[in-house]
Structure 1
């Protein structure tokens, strides 16, 4: 069960599953890597989960996953997050909104558990030659 929620956490970054400009309407304002935290508010899941997700032109992907989870969904040009996540027989939904450097929303694994998520954009680092 905790693996299912863990996958949702990753997907929520949607996270984020968010900083390079992209074509208009492509969700490019949210490109980059996001740190996502899920908090369980009801149900049988662990209380908190933390993960990283990447967004590229609106497409959300897991940065790393230790299980066979799958995720599909997008971040819209206005920051709207909509994801579907599954792991074996369990499936869930993540929704919410991203802004320039943060975001949040809700998640649910019916009928196991539900809660809220928050996301923070990770700072981009650039290398400098000496």
Structure 2
């Protein structure tokens, strides 16, 4: 059951970012974000993840002990988020929006019958090259 919860939550958003910065980012949402996922329906539980946004592209490295996830999607210049997440046979979606320092939205993993909401806080920005 923990594997299912970890996979579903990792799929659900995969949104937590890590890194350090000394200058303004090229894209205002670039950097590392800490994302908390809360389950409103289903057995997926609540968890916190780190993601990276670089030039508006979302990247998730995963956490030790969790199934690898592939995340496809971008953060629009207006902060709109639309992500597709896949891990093994499970597929999920996340949507919402980010401001320069925080964000929120919803997620779901239909194959596990889970859905919920997420909130994010920016932790750092990337330096310009």
Shorter chain as denominator, the TM-score bin is: 0.7 to 0.9
Aligned counterparts of 1:16 and 1:9: Cα–Cα separation in 2: 15
- How big is the shift at 1:59? 0.4
Q: State the Cα distance separating 1:16 from its structure 2 match.
A: 5.5
1:103: how far off? Answer: 0.1
Per the alignment, in what secondary structure is the counterpart of residue 7 of structure 1?
Answer: helix
Residues 1:115 and 2:113 aligned together: no
Deviations 1:53-104 (A, max 9, x none): 0000010001433322211110000000110001111101000000010000
1:7, distance to aligned residue in structure 2 (A) = 1.4
Instruction: Give the one of 2, 11, 25 matched to 1:8.
Output: 11
CA contact (8 A) 1:84 1:91 kept: yes
Please report the TM-score for the alignment, with normalisation by the length of structure 1.
0.79
Aligned partners of 1:9 and 1:36 also within 8 Å? no
| 3-state SS of paired residue (2:67) | coil
1:124 deviation in Å? 5.3
Contiguous gaps of at least 5 residues in structure 2: none
CA contact 2:9–2:44 (8 Å) conserved in 1: no
The answer to whether the Cα contact below 8 Å between 1:16 and 1:119 also exists between their aligned partners in 2 is: no
Q: Distance in 2 between matches of 1:5 and 1:20?
A: 34
Runs of 4+ in 1 over 3 A off after TM superposition: 63-66, 123-126
What is the TM-score with the length of structure 2 in the denominator? Answer: 0.80
What SS is found at the alignment partner of 1:8? helix
Aligned residues: 117
**Per the alignment, do residues 50 and 8 of structure 1 end up closer, same or farther by CA in structure 2, a change over 3 Å counting?**
same
Root-mean-square deviation (CA, aligned residues, Å) is: 2.4
Q: What SS does the corresponding residue of 1:5 show, helix, strand or coil?
A: helix
